Amino acid sequence: MLAKLFRFKGGVKPQTNKAISVHEPIGRAPLPARLFVPLHQSIGGAPNPLVQAGDSVLKGQLIGAADAWVSAAVHAPTSGRVLAVEEHVAAHPSGLPTLCVVIEPDGRDEWIERRPVDHHSLPPERVRELLRDAGVVGLGGAAFPSHAKLTPARAVAMEHLVINGAECEPFMTCDDMLMRERADEIVRGIAIFRELLSAREVLIGIEDNKQEAIAAMQEAVLRLAPDYRVVAVPTRYPAGGAKQLIRVLTGKEVPASRRSTELGVQCFNVATVYTAYRALACGEPVLSRIVTLTGNVERPRNWEVWLGTPMREVVALARPRADSSSFLMGGPMMGFEIPDLDAPVVKATNCIIAASPALFPPPPPEMPCIRCGACAEACPHELQPFELYWFARARNFGKTQEYYIFDCIECGCCSYVCPSHIPLVQYFRFAKSEIWAREREKQAADAAKERFELRNARAEREQAEKAERLARAASAKASEKRAPPDPGNKPAPESAPAVDQPPAAAGEVAMTAGDAEAIRKAAIAAAIERARSQRESAQPRNTDRLSAGQQREIAAVEARRAARSTAATAAASGTAAATDSGGAAVPPAGSRRDD
Amino acid sequence: MISALAIMALGAVVLGAALGYASIRFRVEGDPLVEKIEAILPQTQCGQCGYPGCKPYAAAISAGEADINLCPPGGMDGVRKLADLLGREVKPLEAEEKPKQIAIIDEQTCIGCTLCIQACPVDAIVGAAKQMHTIIEPLCTGCELCVKPCPVECISMQPIAENIDNWKWKYPVFEIKRAA
C-alpha cells in the first residue's frame, strides 16, 4: 500500500554518521560498583524517596514514588544495599547535583516479585497507573511521563497513533537497533497503547536510512498486527520531532501551543512502547535503557545500560580515543556537553558521543547577523529565528514571546545553517529560561503580596476585636458600679455592699491596712461569685435534637454529677464554715473602726 | 449670529452632559497606575524604600513623592521597568544590589521569643513562645525585617544557592582568541 506522504517545512540534512554503531548487536553493560539513581528523571513532580541508607533493595523495587499525576516512579535497577540518599551530580548541562539513591549491587541481581498483568482485564485508568508506577516515560529524550499522554481527548476521536522510529539525530542508533532486535515486543506494546487511546489507525514512521529496522518492523507487523502501517519517511532532520512526524505521516499540522490530541493524533517513541510492553506483560519496570556509544571511540556500539550507571564506566565500554576532548549527551544537534562524567545514565540518556576537535571542530567566531533569512527557511516550526535572536540578544523577552519562542523545539537547524555561525539555539535557551525564572518570581511576588495582605487584614481584625473587648469590659464595670443601689438583680447582695461601702467611707476617714485587705478580699469573693453565676447561666447548647436514649443518658450523667457535688459540699462544709467565720470576722472589725 | 451662538451653546451643553455622564458611568475605582507600579515591585514588603510596604511605595511613586530607584530587592531591572512605565529617566539604584537571599534561623540558638514572627510581613516564620522557630523557605521574601528584632542574633541572611530547578541557561558569551 502506497501512502501519500507529506512534507514539513524547513529542516536540514546533516551527515548521519549512523553506520558506525550498528555493526554489533545491543550489548548488556556490566553492573557498576555503585549505582546513582536520580529520583527526578522525568518531567513533572520529583518522586519522593521510599528508601533510606542501610535498606536492602531488590531489583525492580520501587525507590521513588510518583508524587503527582505528571510524574513517574523510579526503581532499583538491581538488588543490593542502599548506601545513601544524597545529592550527586546530575546528567544536566548545569552539572549541578540532584537527589540520588546510591545503591551498592550485591551481585545476585535478585528480582522483586514480578506481576505480569493482562491489560485487557483492567480498566484503562488502572493501566495508566501501572505505567506511571513502572516509571514509563518518553525515551526519545524528553522523558515526559507516558501515562499522561495516554488519555484520549473527550471532544476528538483518536484518529492516528503515530509511533516514532524516525530517529533523525545524527550518530544515534539506539531506536534503530531496538527495532531490529525487538520488533515483536514493540508491536505488542503498540497494541496496548492503541487500545488505551482507542486509535483508529497506527502509523509507524521510520526514516528511510534504516532499511533493516523497516524490514524487521514490517515482518513483525505482518505476523502480529497486519493493520498497522510501517512507513518509511524521507531522511531529513528533524523528521523525528513529534510535530514533524505527525505532519509527514498524517498531513496534520499541530498549531502553535496546542496539543496533537486535539487533532486526534498522539505520538510515542518506539523505546517507550517497548518499555510499556515490558512493564505490563512482564511486570518489569524501567530499569535500563539502550544507549548509543559513538563518536571518537574505537568500539562504537549500542549498550543496554542500567539506569544510574556513572557515565564514566559506560563510556569506557566504547574505549574512547585519546584525543577525545569532551562527551555529549544526546545527539550533536540537540545534545549538550556532559559537564562531569560522574553523572549517571538516566531515562533521557539516549546517546553519548565522544567529541574530538577533529570530529566537531570548535565553532568559528560569531559574526553579525546579516539577515539572510537562512534560519527562517530551515526552521521546521516556521518561526523567524533571526527576529527571535535580536530580541533574545536585547533581552526583550516580551517580544520573543510575541514571536512564539516557546514553539521552538531547539532542534538546532537555524544554528546549523547560519552563515554567521551564530549559536541561535543558545540564545533561545537563554531567553526561555529567563522567561521561566521571571514567571516563577512573579508567582512568588503575587503569593507574598497575598500573604502580606492577609496578615494586615488579620492584624486589623485582631485590633478591632481587642478594642471591642476592652469596650465591653469597661461598660460591664460601669454597669456593675451602677448596680448596687438595686440589690434585686445582684446574685450576691451580701458581698456587694462590702465592696462598695468601704470606698464610700474611705472618703471620710483615712484607710488603714486592714481596710485595704478587706476590700481586696471582698472583691475576690465577688469575682468568684460572678464566675459561679456565669458558669450556671451558661447552658450547653448542643443538646437539642438528640434521640430519647441520648437525652436519658445525659440526664443520668447530670444526676450523678449533682449527687457528687452535694456530697462534696457536705463534706467540705465543716472546714468551710471555720474559714467563713474567720473571713467574716474581718469586715465587722473594719466596719467597727469605720464607725 | 444668534443661531450660531445658540448652536455653540447647545453643543457645549450636550458635550458637557455627555462628559459628565461618562465620568460617573465609567468611573475608575482606585488608581490603576498604583496597581501597575505595584505589579512591578517585588512584594518583599521590606520597607527598604522608606515606605511601609510595596503598596505605599507604589502610591508614593504614583503621586510623584518618591523616586523610582529606592527599591533594592527590585534591582536595576525593576528601576528600568518603572522608568519604562512612567516615562522617567533610569537612575542608578540608591543602595547596592544584592543577590536574592533568604533568612535562616540557627535553631540551636533560638530562644523562642516570637519577635521575628511578629516582624515577618508574609507570615513565613513558624514557632511559638519558648519553642524553636523556623523559616518556611519557599515563602521567605528575603526582606531582612526579622534580622534586627532577634535578641540572640540567630537569624542570618543567606543567598539562594543555584540548583537544578532555578538554574538558567547563560547568555552566550564567547572568548575572543588572538589569531596566531
**Closest-CA distance of chain B to residue A318, Å:** 29
Q: Contact at 8 Å (CB) between A315 and A256?
A: no
Residues A522 and A392 placed together within one structural domain of the fold = no
Give the distance, in angstroms, between the CA of residue B54 and the centroid of all CA atoms in the same chain. Answer: 5
Interchain CB distance below 8 Å, B43 and A452? yes
When divided into structural domains, chain A yields a total of 3
What are residue A162's DSSP bridge partners?
A203, A267
For residue A492, the model assigns a pLDDT of: 47
Q: Domains in chain B and their CATH numbers? A: 32-86 (1.10.15.40), 101-159 (3.30.70.20)
Interchain CB distance below 8 Å, B167 and A96? yes
Q: Contact at 8 Å (CB) between A501 and A487?
A: no
Residues A127 and A268 placed together within one structural domain of the fold = yes
Residues A335 and A222 placed together within one structural domain of the fold = yes
Bridge-based pairing state of the strands A35-38 and A301-306: unpaired
Quick one: angle between helices A183-197 and A270-277, nearest 10? 90
**Closest-CA distance of chain B to residue A96, Å:** 6
Residue A145 has pLDDT above 70, yes or no: yes
Amino acid at residue number A262: E
For residue A499, the model assigns a pLDDT of: 44
A94 shares contact with chain B (CB less than 8 Å) = yes
Residue A125 has pLDDT above 80, yes or no: yes
Q: Contact at 8 Å (CB) between A285 and A134?
A: yes
Tell me how far apart the terminal alpha carbons of chain B are, to the nearest angstrom: 90
CATH of the domain at A167: 3.40.50.11540
Summarize the confidence of residues A270-293 as an average pLDDT: 94
Q: Which domain holds residue A521?
A: 494-533+583-595
Residue A181 has pLDDT above 90, yes or no: yes
Cβ neighbors of A222 (< 8 A, separation 6 or more) are none
Q: Is residue A217 part of a domain?
A: yes
Supply A226's cell numbers.
497486519
Supply A388's cell numbers.
527571535
Question: What is the DSSP track for A319-335?
Answer: -B-TT--EEEES-TTT-
Interchain CB distance below 8 Å, A448 and B141? yes
Q: How confident is the model at residue A19 (pLDDT cuts 50, 70, 90)?
A: very high
Which is more confident, A547 or B129? Answer: B129
b/e for A508-546, b at 16 or more Cβ within 10 A? eeebeeebeebbebbeebbeebbeeeeeeeeeeeeeeee
Residues A466 and A499 placed together within one structural domain of the fold = no
**Residues B53-86 pLDDT 10s:** 888 999 999 888 888 988 888 888 889 889 989 9
**Residues B24-36 pLDDT 10s:** 988 877 778 888 8
Residues A345 and A453 placed together within one structural domain of the fold = no
- How far is the C-alpha of A512 from the C-alpha of A507, rounded, in Å? 12
- How far is the C-alpha of A157 from the C-alpha of A282, rounded, in Å? 30
Q: Is residue A373 part of a domain?
A: yes
Mean pLDDT (chain A) is: 87
Residue ending a domain, among A302, A325, A355, is A355
Residue ending a domain, among A355, A374, A394, is A355
- A430, A449, A453, best to mutate vs chain B, most B CBs in 10 Å: A449
- How far is the C-alpha of A177 from the C-alpha of A213, rounded, in Å? 7
Q: How confident is the model at residue B180 (pLDDT cuts 50, 70, 90)?
A: low
Residues A207 and A287 placed together within one structural domain of the fold = yes
A430 shares contact with chain B (CB less than 8 Å) = yes
Residues A429 and A477 placed together within one structural domain of the fold = yes
**Residues A353-381 pLDDT 10s:** 999 999 998 888 889 999 999 999 999 99
B43 shares contact with chain A (CB less than 8 Å) = yes
For residue A169, the model assigns a pLDDT of: 93
**Closest-CA distance of chain B to residue A471, Å:** 25
B119, exposed or middle or buried, with CB in 10 Å at 0-12, 13-18, 19+? Answer: middle
Residues A342 and A411 placed together within one structural domain of the fold = no
Residues A242 and A335 placed together within one structural domain of the fold = yes
Q: How confident is the model at residue A498 (pLDDT cuts 50, 70, 90)?
A: very low
